[in-house]
Chain A
Amino acid sequence: MEAALKWLSDNQQIIYIVILMIFVGIEVIGRVPSVLHTPLMSGANAIHGVVIIGAIIVMGKAEGDNYPALILGFLAVVLGTLNVVGGFVVTDRMLEMFKSKKK
């Protein structure tokens, strides 16, 4: 119990962020028309590519001679970048089709 309370107060900033972000996430897309479900999913897909930052940090901290970590980190950076770049470009291609419609 004490440990749990301590954990709570140690991490309160993060816990606040998590709770508020959950509400923001729900609120922000609450009224999306079904036409946009696919591009929205694709856009959200690109945004979670933010995991690339973790990959960069891991990579940048690895010792220069720790090849297993370097190789895995390299792979993580490549995959993360694929997620980000591919995600945004695909989303844009989908949305491009809508644009011609809007006069």
Chain B
Amino acid sequence: MEFSILTLIYLIGSVTFIIGLKMLSNPASARKGNWLAAAGMTLAIFGTIFLYRDDESGEKLHNYGWIFGGLLIGAVVGMLAAKKVKMTAMPEMVSLFNGMGGACAALISLIEFNHYAHEGFKNSITEAYEAGEQIDNAVLELGVQTGVLITIFAGLIIGSVSFAGSMIAWGKLNGKIKDYAFKGQHIVNQIMLAAILGLSVFVIYKIKMAVGSTDDAPDLPLDTAYITALFYTVLGLSLVYGIMFVMPIGGADMPVVISLLNSFTGVAAACGGFLYDNKVMLTGGILVGAAGTLLTILMCKAMNRSLLNVLIGSFGGGNTGGGGGGSKEQGAYKEISLSDTAVIMTYAHKVMIVPGYGLAVAQAQHACHELEKLLESKGVEVKYAIHPVAGRMPGHMNVLLAEADVSYEKLQEMEQANEEFPTTDVVLVLGANDVVNPAAKTDPASPIYGMPILDVELAKNVIVNKRSMKPGYAGIENDLFFQPKTSMLFGDAKKVLQDLIAEIKNL
């Protein structure tokens, strides 16, 4: 009875995940959807703790102290981390949590493997036999099923790749880890992947040979220590592979990578579902695996690139592609003073603001909104041009500007914005770089060639606020800064905006 209640709980959990995800893809219901999925998750977790019974032995779970201790620590730390993190660091946080999930899946595989190794890779099944009128219990020893072994390995490999990759993505997003690539890295990666798969197949084959399921096949002796050592080699290689996989991919492509690793972790969770024949893990995992993969592709589409191109193209692998575009003679750029900027903007008819990561770093969204209101009060039409991948994640800018109460109607998507630039007097670029780089259209050698950009050079004046002349995240120079129309306004976005507001008020 209890166990069938658990089945019902899992069913409810699975449905909340699906509906929650559905609601998350609509702005009006997104928040409720998130809580619905969270409620389903809570139900499934506590249902498992109290109602789970082992299939064969019918035993309940024990070690409650350990379980609740772990839940408590995880919940408190997770809550604090999620509450305290700054809006700008959100993407890193998602990557970090994703890595935790991957590590969790890998650990489950690790424990299960050790458990099976301990039992000599045999399942003892107690089966009830009807012998005449009596019911006898016979203990059968069966070799572990191939499916179980495959699932353990899949969970281990995918989980640890996802964990290691997410940690690197996290480090890259907060600037602790620099891009690193060497010649022939893709070949090394592929060899490594082949080695991981080859070793796994070998280990599974070895185990099956030793505890073959068919009775007539002679059981070969099995060196458990050797097999376990190979298992740990697979674990180690998978971790290294995860690192090498993300290492050469440039910071600008991290959102895509995180989304991809997110779907990896989903598949790793689904492996756990196979292992325990647990439907809620299976549905949740596969759901995220599929949705995550589609989301990854959608993100790539927003940048007009294919997934393969992102993974192999090694954006910002600096030495070749990036250098080629940037090593041309650059000419001089001109700076503009704050008071000049104030004058130009106040007497403009239409101003478009192009926000980028710099705005997020400086937390300048409120100052930006203030500038917008001030200019509007002086009769200037102000709009925002949002590139789909501005910032570190799609939608990053929308979230930030929404935080500052900028109204939806003011946010122009790329296509609309590009239609408006020719009639715009001043474009103010706030900490954006690659999304306004004309090289994406003109220079086939550029690593961002083909990415749709905001055609800010169509406007009469372009004012670019940056902290320095350093290239953007893709690691390439931007010709826009050297065009005669463009003026540079150096400084931290928030400080510059505040000073600019003061200047305009003084006019």
Contacts and interface: CB of A to CB of B under 8 A. Distances in A.
A86 B73 CA distance: 12
Q: Which of A41, A48, A54, A87 has the most CB of B within 10 A?
A: A48
A95 B30 contact: yes
B79 A86 contact: yes
A66 to B, nearest CB: 9
B270 A18 contact: yes
Which applies to chain A's interface (DSSP): helix, strand, loop or mixed? helix
A44 B262 contact: yes
A54 B275 contact: yes
B302 A34 contact: yes
B280 interface: yes
B285 A50 contact: yes
A34 B395 CA distance: 6
A11 B258 CA distance: 31
Contacts of B273: 54
B360 to A, nearest CB: 12
> Which bracket fits the contact residues of B?
35 or more
Interface string B247-275: 00000000100110011011011101111
Contacts of A21: 282-283, 286-287, 290
Nearest to A30: B294
B147 A59 contact: no
> Which bracket fits the contact residues of A?
35 or more
B399 interface: yes
Contact of B63 (A11, A26, A62): A62
A100 B402 contact: yes
Given A26-B294, A46-B38, A90-B90, A82 B78 contact: yes
B105 interface: yes
A24 to B, nearest CB: 6
Contacts of A82: 74, 77-78, 81, 97, 100
Given A34-B388, A48-B269, A77-B67, A55 B108 contact: yes
Given A11-B147, A47-B17, A47-B287, A72 B295 contact: no
A50 B44 CA distance: 8
A94 B67 CA distance: 30
A81 B75 contact: yes
Contacts of A52: 45, 104
Contacts of B34: 39, 43, 46, 88, 91-92, 95
Contacts of A99: 31
Contacts of B403: 97, 100
Contacts of A2: none
B25 to A, nearest CB: 4
B31 A93 contact: no
A51 B105 contact: yes
A50 B269 contact: yes
Given A54-B269, A54-B276, A85-B79, A96 B73 contact: no
B49 interface: yes
B37 A64 contact: no
Given A17-B283, A18-B282, A51-B285, A93 B82 contact: yes
Q: Which of A14, A18, A83 has the most CB of B within 10 A?
A: A83
A51 B388 contact: no
Interface in B47-68: 48-49, 52, 54, 59-64, 66-67
B61 A56 contact: yes
A94 B402 CA distance: 10
Contacts of B111: 58, 62, 69, 72-73, 76
A4 to B, nearest CB: 11
B286 A17 contact: yes
Nearest to B163: A79
Nearest to A24: B18
A98 B17 CA distance: 21
B83 A93 contact: yes
Contact of A53 (B66, B258, B278): B278
A99 B486 CA distance: 37
B289 interface: yes
7 contacts: A21-B287, A33-B25, A46-B37, A47-B284, A79-B103, A83-B104, A84-B38
Interface of A: 7, 11, 14, 17-18, 21-26, 28-62, 64, 68-70, 72-102
By Cβ-Cβ distance, the 10 closest A-B pairs, closest first, are: A81-B74, A60-B61, A25-B290, A77-B70, A54-B272, A86-B78, A85-B78, A50-B284, A89-B82, A37-B394
